[in-house]
Amino acid sequence: MAYSERVIDHYNNPRNVGQLDKGSTEVGTGLVGAPECGDVMRLQIRVNPATQVIEEAKFKTFGCGSAIASSSLATEWIKGRTVDDALGIKNTDIVKELSLPPVKIHCSVLAEDAIRAAIGDWKKKNSAPVAAVAAEAVAVAG
Amino acid sequence: MFKVIDSAVPIACWSCSIGHNDSTLFCPHCSKIQPPPGGDYFSVFGLEPRLNLDLTALEHEFHRLSRKLHPDRFARAEENEKQWSLADTALLNDAYRTLKDPLRRTEYLLKLLGAEIGAGQESKEEKVARVPADLLEEVFELNMQLEEMRAASKTGVEDPELQAGLEQAKRRFDGLLVEVDQDLRTQWQAWDEGDAAARASAQRRMVALLDRRRYLSNLVRDVTETLGA
């Protein structure tokens, strides 16, 4: 089966490969895997706390060309979007853009899962500190 | 519950017209060869679906049926029978290859069951949840080490520490594979001997174990390749 030109382009010139500081509260990390093929994908976002805009996105994927292309495309698409906006990206959009064949659809599902996981992680990090800050404020006031 | 029940629908023998279950290669009444039956691979050997199989008996039955189906025996038979001897032999070979291998047998049985409980119906969340986060973390880390080592071997710089780390990881993953296989065997027994509820639970457990196994065996393969290179 031949890969589409777009897949090959993303595979040869993957956008945004790398990693962000996992410990930063502005960074959300999503690590997902596809048991069907044993692929693993890590997608990270850095969100501007004031605007909720994803300013940076990085990925690292161990898997087939379609999995790499799907995650590369995902990072391109979420950059510059707000967190809520990025959640609107569907795996079917990725399938369309990359002309993925039916046997590779799970790669796009993995990329969508990775976006959700990264945003979920960021949200979790940024709801707890708010409570902690509030508690601290109360403690100071008291 | 099983596909085998579909094949229990009696069909008439083309030769003697007496009805028989659509799972046998030869008519039980007139012994004439039958077209490839529509039942599952277990029924080709006259077995109920189960995971613990007597492999010696299976092999014996495979040889017996192979001999009976051999195209040489049908040199003077009708054209239909000649064709069926080829098609039945192909089916028998597929069935034997699938059932004699424990992993393929397990995957096959799960697929048979999945076809009935609605494969692909699970939500994405469930799918992700099937792979434990700590395993993913480890798989990811090891892949990073592998990549580093491949890059290092390309530049000709040996890194003994990296090498030792990989060897240690390989031993660990080999050990985990053994654990998974032991657990699988326990689930086989639970499935073979259990009631519907026990079977359903063993089935879920086996799906998770096979996923885990796939990750682990891919890793062991990659590590072995990298260490060997």
Listed residues B51, B82, B117: the one ending a domain: B117
Do B130 and B101 belong to one domain? no
pLDDT of amino acid B161:
80
Q: Closest Cα to residue A3, out of A91, A72, A67? A: A67
Say what the ipTM of the complex is: 0.79
Residue B140 to residue A38, Cβ atoms within 8 A: no
- Give A60-102 pLDDT, tens digit per residue: 999 888 999 999 999 999 999 999 999 999 999 999 999 999 8
pLDDT in tens, B108-153: 999 888 755 444 444 444 444 456 777 788 889 888 888 887 787 7
The alpha-carbon gap from A60 to the nearest alpha carbon of chain B, in Å, equals 9
pLDDT tens, position by position, B64-114: 999 999 988 998 888 989 999 999 999 999 999 999 999 999 999 998 887
- Residues in CB range of B157: below 8 A, 6 or more apart: none
Same-domain check for residues B59 and B143: no
pLDDT at res. B8: 54
Residues B97 and B54 in one domain: yes
- Angstroms from A140 CA to nearest CA on chain B: 38
So where are chain A's domains?
A: 5-141
Taking one residue from A and the other from B, the number of pairs with CB-CB distance under 8 angstroms is: 41
Residue B15: band (very low, low, confident or very high) from pLDDT cuts 50, 70, 90: confident
Residue B215 and residue A35: Cβ atoms within 8 Å?
Answer: yes
Q: Which of B127, B130, B139 sits opposite A40 (nearest CB)?
A: B139
> Is residue B103 domain-shared with residue B203, that is, in the same domain?
no
My answer on whether B163 and B104 are in the same domain is no
Q: Which residue has the higher pLDDT, B116 or A105?
A: A105
pLDDT computed for residue A28 by the predictor: 96
Task: Give the CATH number, domain containing residue B98.
Answer: 1.10.287.110
Domain final residue, candidates B70, B91, B117: B117
* Residue A73 near residue A98 (C-beta atoms within 8 A): yes
Out of A18-27, A96-105, A119-128, B119-128, least confident range: B119-128
Range of the domain at B146: 124-228
- Residue contact A35–B211, C-beta within 8 A: yes
Q: Which two tokens stand for residue A100?
A: 């993925």
Mutate to test the interface with A, among B143, B144, B207, B225 (most CBs of A within 10 A): B143
Residue numbers of B between 117 and 136 with CB closer than 8 Å to A: 124, 127-128, 130-131, 133, 136
Chain A residue at shortest CA distance from B221:
A38
Give pLDDT, residue B155.
76
Neighbours of A64 (CB within 10 A): 18
**Which residues sit opposite B20 in a β-bridge?**
B11
Closest residue on chain B to A91 (Cα): B124
Contact B130 A35 (CB under 8 A): yes
- Chain A residues with CB under 8 Å of B127 CB are 35
User: Picking from B3-17, B86-100, B123-137, B206-220, which range would have the lowest pLDDT averaged per residue?
Assistant: B123-137
Q: Report the distance separating Cα A62 and Cα B139, nearest Å.
A: 9
Domain count, chain B: 2
User: Quick one: CATH architecture of A5-141?
Assistant: Alpha-Beta Complex (3.90)
Cβ-defined contact of A40 to B133 (cutoff 8 Å): no
Q: With contact defined as beta carbons under 8 Å apart, do A15 and A77 qualify? A: no
What is the per-residue pLDDT across B144-181, written as a single tens digit (0 to 9) for each?
888 887 787 777 777 788 788 888 888 988 998 999 99
CB contact under 8 A, B130 and A113: no
User: CB–CB of B104/B97 below 8 Å?
Assistant: yes
Arithmetic mean of pLDDT, B46-54:
92
Q: What's residue A38's pLDDT?
A: 77
**Chain B residue closest in CA terms to A40:** B140
A109/B124 CB distance under 8 A? yes
With contacts defined as CB-CB under 8 Å, which chain A residues touch B215? 33, 35, 38
pLDDT for the residue numbered B131:
66
The whole-number average pLDDT for the span A106-117 is 94
